[in-house]
Amino acid sequence: MSINTPDDKLYARPPIPVTVVTGFLGAGKTTLLRGLVQKRQARRLALLINEFGEVAIDGDLLRATPDGARAKTVVQIQDFPYGLIAYGDDEHFVPAMLAIAARRAQIDHVLIETSGLALPTAVMEALQSDVLAPHFILDATLAVVDTPLMLAGDFGDVDVLGADAPPTAGQAVAAMFAQQLEFADVVVLNKIDALQEDQLLQAETRVRECAPNVRFLELAYEAQLDIRLALGLRLHQASQGTHQHSYTPLPRMPGPQASVLADQRLFNGHSHSGLAAHSHGLSTHKHFHEQDPGWLSFTLRSRAPQTEDRLRLALTEAARAEPILRTKGFVRCAGARRLLVQGVRARVNLDSVEEHQDAQSGTASELVFIGYHPSRNKVAALLSEMTGTEWQ
Ligand SMILES: Nc1nc2c(ncn2[C@@H]2O[C@H](COP(=O)(O)OP(=O)(O)OP(=O)(O)O)[C@@H](O)[C@H]2O)c(=O)[nH]1
């Protein structure tokens, strides 16, 4: 007679598929996930949301899906405000995943939204560790792309990186973008609602140039993706012999001044080939866990009610004057009206929010800014001057 311990039962179950959703700051990851949550049908999901910046906003936005109350029982959302998820100094990822494994019977699929400044490789590697591998299997890695920004050349050309000069904001952005694409199985062209056919073809060509071995390229109109194109792809289930990893020679070694982020690509000669399901060996995905210290986020707050038009102008100007790539948060206007602020570069949207969408409702205005060496003082001064209210 055999006696099953709870642990035996845990290990006897098939591993839970995990989809990693990556993409640069503001590409539309959270919006896309929101669409997938709505289209989940009978799937029971666990979502881990990793944001760069001390205030978690995306988790609140996801919880505010139209069927929020109903969804709560079958969609578990966990904010991950602890730096970059699964990176070297992150002590929270493995325990959070083990807690999910312990609830195996209630979860069909795990979705992990990485911060816009993270590479998916850290999660991919952690999933293959001895402690997580028995419980989880990588389903696919999706990279969401802000297509108009890519077509406008805003993600630049990483090859112009200097070996001994610190990277500029543009180079740091280009390096992060290129690496996120490189490690993706599926690239999702997002924000394409206003694009013409020839622009979509251009975008596809650009992605194929940057990341020739991406397996699928999907179009997401208004951040909507067919759930069958996102979940259950099983691209990493072991099928040895059909997949090869090849290495190109390291092009050059970094100089002593070179930053960590900018140099990751130089160390990485990895490329994919083969179209069958494949697995990623630990040794095939070398990456540096450290984050480029040039990426900074800060929070500014104001107690005074804001005027919508003045604030929009001020935020647009701040993104032009300083290397600010992302702004988000909630602000309070006269009459207790609350606005959700979503800024990607100098494109700033302000939308009225219902109270249930805003966990901080009733409190002061609070905005998170993310940029490459941005000056907090300059942004605070500019906002204070242009809105006529104190921001600090
Ligand atoms: N027009 C348009 N706007 C979009 C689309 N997808 C996202 N957005 C907008 O882009 C902004 C950023 O979207 P998010 O989903 O928060 O982007 P994100 O990648 O999660 O951002 P971070 O987590 O901060 O990196 C928001 O204002 C969205 O409403 C789209 O397909 N079309």
Domain boundaries, the chain: 6-284, 295-387
Angle CA 318–322–328, to nearest 5: 55
Q: What CA–CA distance (Å, rounded) separates 275 from 156?
A: 29
* C-alpha dist (Å) from residue 336 to 56, 104, 242, 361, 362: 22, 43, 60, 9, 7
Look up residue 333 and give its amino acid: C
Report the nearest-CA residue for atom 8 of ligand 1. Answer: 28
CA of 28 to the centre of ligand 1 (A): 3
Secondary structure (DSSP) of 178-239:
HHHHHT-SEEEEES-TT--HHHHHHHHHHHHHH-TT-SEEEE-BTTB--GGGTSS--TTS--
Interval 54-83: pLDDT, tens: 677 788 778 776 665 556 667 888 888 778
Closest approach atom of ligand 1 to CA 194: 1
Place of tokens 């139209």: 66
Interval 25-53: pLDDT, tens: 999 999 999 999 999 989 999 999 998 87
Q: What integer is the mean pLDDT of 197-205? A: 95
Ligand 1, CB within 6 Å, residue ranges? 23, 25-31, 51, 58, 116, 190-191, 193, 222-223, 326, 342, 344, 349
Q: What CA–CA distance (Å, rounded) separates 56 from 53?
A: 7
Neighbours of 69 (CB within 10 A): 10
CA of 266 to the centre of ligand 1 (A): 30
Neighbours of 14 (CB within 10 A): 8
The domain covering 295-387 belongs, at the CATH homologous superfamily level, to CobW-like, C-terminal domain (3.30.1220.10)
Most confidently predicted of 8-17, 71-80, 362-371: 362-371
Phi, psi of 196 (to 5 degrees): -90, 165
Closest approach atom of ligand 1 to CA 51: 23
Strand 186-190 and strand 136-146: the pairing is: parallel
Angle CA 59–344–339, to nearest 5: 60
CA of 326 to the centre of ligand 1 (A): 10
Look up residue 53 and give its amino acid: G
Residue 69 pLDDT:
55
Q: What CA–CA distance (Å, rounded) separates 45 from 78?
A: 11
Report the nearest-CA residue for atom 2 of ligand 1. Answer: 191
| Fold category of 6-284 in CATH | Rossmann fold (3.40.50)
Sorted by sequence, the CB contacts under 8 Å of residue 197 that are 6+ apart come out as: none
260 touches 291 (CB < 8 A): yes
CA of 146 to the centre of ligand 1 (A): 8
Q: What CA–CA distance (Å, rounded) separates 279 from 145?
A: 24
* Whether this model's pTM surpasses 0.90: no
Q: What's the gap between Cα 114 and its chain centre? A: 4
CA of 27 to the centre of ligand 1 (A): 5
CA of 200 to the centre of ligand 1 (A): 18
Look up residue 151 and give its amino acid: L
Does residue 307 register a pLDDT over 90?
yes
Report the nearest-CA residue for atom 12 of ligand 1. Answer: 26
Quick one: pLDDT band at residue 287, thresholds 50, 70, 90? Answer: very low
Closest approach atom of ligand 1 to CA 33: 15
Look up residue 161 and give its amino acid: L
Tell me, what DSSP letter sits at residue 333? B
Q: What CA–CA distance (Å, rounded) separates 143 from 306?
A: 35
Residue 274 pLDDT:
33
Sorted by sequence, the CB contacts under 8 Å of residue 78 that are 6+ apart come out as: 46, 47, 48, 49, 59, 96
Q: Which of 21, 24, 25, 30 to mutate to test the pocket of ligand 1 (most atoms within 8 A of CB)?
A: 30
Interval 115-149: pLDDT, tens: 999 989 999 999 999 999 999 999 999 999 999 99
Neighbours of 237 (CB within 10 A): 15
